[in-house]
Amino acid sequence: MTFVAEIQRLRGRAKEQQKTIDELRTQRRHWLGAQFPDSGHVDPAAHTELRSANERLTTEKAGLITSINELRRSITALEHDLLAAREALAQELAEPTGATLTLTAPDQID
């Protein structure tokens, strides 16, 4: 087989494969279209229900974000208080004042 004949054979094969690809794309579009029986129609009741659910969830999300932000502020304040208490305790333990600090487990308290 000559070089020119081989090129012609490969061009013919490429055209056949392109035709097969085009046919498969057409079949895919038909099959996907069959999955949605009336894609141009929107059920008003379902649409209203979805819009209502979306608004409710959006409002709920805003409330949750506000709660999260408030909790984060509380955590920050508590961490600041804890740090101050630790520093005060460390300072108290470092200064010899003559007073002693005794810790008792809760189950040993009368």
Q: Are 49 and 29 in the same domain?
A: no
Q: How far is CA 30 from CA 22, 33, 41, 98, in A?
A: 12, 5, 18, 91
Where is average pLDDT lowest: 1-5, 20-24, 33-37, 75-79?
A: 33-37
Residue 97 lies in a domain: no
Residue 11 lies in a domain: yes
Residue 56 lies in a domain: yes
Q: Are 52 and 20 in the same domain?
A: no
pLDDT tens column, 46-84: 889 989 999 999 999 999 999 999 999 999 999 999 999
Residue 85 lies in a domain: yes
- The rounded distance, in Å, linking the Cα atoms of 32 and 45 is 25
Residue 52 lies in a domain: yes
- The residue segments making up the domain with residue 31 are 7-36
39 pLDDT tier (thresholds 50, 70, 90): low
88 pLDDT tier (thresholds 50, 70, 90): very high
Q: Are 23 and 57 in the same domain?
A: no
Residue 83 lies in a domain: yes
User: Looking at residues 18-42, what average pLDDT do you find?
Assistant: 77
Give me the number of domains the chain comprises: 2
